[in-house]
Amino acid sequence: AQRVTQPEKLLSVFKGAPVELKCNYSYSGSPELFWYVQYSRQRLQLLLRHISRESIKGFTADLNKGETSFHLKKPFAQEEDSAMYYCALIGYGQNFVFGPGTRLSVLP
Amino acid sequence: EAQVTQNPRYLITVTGKKLTVTCSQNMNHEYMSWYRQDPGLGLRQIYYSMNVEVTDKGDVPEGYKVSRKEKRNFPLILESPSPNQTSLYFCASSLFGGTGLNYEQYFGPGTRLTVT
């Protein structure tokens, strides 16, 4: 079965602190994984994808196949990072499977 | 401007009254998709389409229909809405295939549907 879990519904950190948003998946084979973000009053948008191995807005995510994880990290959180974050994968039938989301709140 | 549009943005209706939510994209994308967003459940894919006249069920297709007669349009139809279909609905589109770089989805603004 294809599934994405994000164990934290809400994560609160202080500005300047490191942040890690957890994502675990179940998928047989090599998954295509993504992080999407939804800022207040904005559309859901792609933050990063594992295949391009890029850093966007200071965020990085590493695919760990052994732990079936794709955690999103940033060394120093900023207030503008406050948003809803979704981890997602592409399933066997080219469908998308999203996790339940984690709301990140960066406190001043 | 490249974008995905949805109409209406807000809709209140009664149980059993058929409704259609339209979705249109101007980016010549092959892949289009509908999602519903519910608190604690995240986004769940309802239906998706990889090209004209090709549609597939997502995770929660029951109670919904879609059609893809033209590349740019992908309407979502609720033949007999029920209160458990009260939700926030998103349409999305993307290029398709290749290395995954083409899988970026562009989302519409959302349609908030209330069924009483």
Mean of all residue pLDDT scores within chain B: 93
Looking at CA atoms only, how far is residue A82 from chain B in angstroms? 17
Instruction: Give the model's confidence band at B97: pLDDT under 50 very low, under 70 low, under 90 confident, else very high.
Output: low
| Other CB atoms within 10 Å distance of the CB of residue A61 | 26
**Rounded Cα distance, B96 and B77, in Å:** 24
CA pair distance A27, A93, nearest whole angstrom:
12
Mean pLDDT by 10 residues, chain A (108 residues): 92 97 91 93 90 82 91 96 95 88 97
**pLDDT tier at B20 (50, 70, 90 boundaries)?**
very high
Is residue A57 helix, strand or coil? Answer: coil
Q: How confident is the model at residue B7 (pLDDT cuts 50, 70, 90)?
A: very high
Shortest alpha-carbon distance between residue B116 and chain A (Å): 26
pLDDT, position B95? 85
Residue B33 has pLDDT above 90, yes or no: yes
Q: Measured between alpha carbons, how far is A88 from A75 in angstroms, rounded to an integer? A: 22
CB distance from B40 to chain A under 8 Å? yes
Choice between B101 and A101, residue whose per-residue pLDDT is larger: A101
Q: Is A35 on the interface with B (CB under 8 A)?
A: no
- Chain-centroid distance of CA A32 in Å reads 13
Q: Does A18 touch chain B (CB under 8 A)?
A: no
pLDDT at B101: 54
**Chosen from A5, A43, A45 to mutate, greatest number of chain B CBs within 10 A:** A43
A28 vs B: CB within 8 A: no
For the stretch B52-81, pLDDT in tens is 999 999 999 999 999 999 999 999 999 999
Instruction: Please answer yes or no on whether A86 and B43 come within 8 Å at the CB atom.
Output: yes
